Amino acid sequence: MKNLFIFIIIALFFSACTLKKVENHHGVHFLNKKQEKLTIKQSNKNDILTLLGAPSSKSTFDNDLWIYIERITDNSSLTKFGAERIIVNNVLLLEINSMGLLEKKEFFDLNSMKEIKFAQQTTETQYKKNTFLYDFLSSMRQKINDPLGKRKR
């Protein structure tokens, strides 16, 4: 009876384990294959929404810019303490003109994103913390908190 109980416990423990890694999928599935069906100057907003669904992000400048993202990650081996590893990272940028037609299409995968050069310059702050207004308001706060000036500093 005791051996049967131990066998059931061990069987339950191993049945919860799986040899297949768990993949976390975010965004549009198979974005690289779906984007090939879109043609410039022929596909319109309705075609895009039917094929890809709602965009991950939208922006409006001169033309509408729709951004679609696909990202697949999994947990690495036990030796790397289960850190996440990126398998697929695709981004599709669609520019749609005022008539609703696809004007421009750009597709970036994990390898092409490594080739993109980003600006290294940073913008420094132009304000100074101890301005006249800051000093005035901090002295007023100090007088409100300690009107007689007897509190230890």
Domain boundary assignment for the chain: 19-119
| pLDDT value of position 20 | 65
Dihedral of CA atoms 32, 34, 39, 43 in degrees, nearest 10, equals -140
Task: Enter the DSSP assignment of 133.
Answer: H
Give per-residue pLDDT as tens, 97-140: 989 899 999 999 888 877 777 778 877 766 666 677 777 888 88
**CA 143 to CA 137: how far, in whole Å?**
10
Copy the structure tokens of residue 52.
Answer: 């890809």
Decide if pLDDT at 81 tops 70. Answer: no
Decide if pLDDT at 19 tops 70. Answer: no
Reference 69, options 44, 46, 86; nearest CA is: 86
Whole-number CA gyration radius for the chain: 29
Residue showing tokens 């609703």: 100
Decide if pLDDT at 153 tops 60. Answer: no
**CA 90 to CA 65: how far, in whole Å?**
16
Q: Are 70 and 93 in contact (CB under 8 A)?
A: no
| pLDDT value of position 84 | 81
Whole-angstrom CA distances from 83 to 74, 86, 88 are 8, 10, 16
Give per-residue pLDDT as tens, 31-52: 999 999 999 999 999 999 999 9
Decide if pLDDT at 82 tops 90. Answer: no
**CA 14 to CA 55: how far, in whole Å?**
41
**CA 102 to CA 5: how far, in whole Å?**
65
**CA 51 to CA 69: how far, in whole Å?**
14
The CATH fold assigned to 19-119 is Beta-lactamase Inhibitory Protein; Chain:B, domain 1 (3.30.1450)
Decide if pLDDT at 86 tops 90. Answer: no
Q: What is the mean pLDDT of the chain?
A: 81
Helix residue ranges per DSSP H, 1-153: 2-15, 31-34, 45-52, 110-114, 132-145
| pLDDT value of position 77 | 63
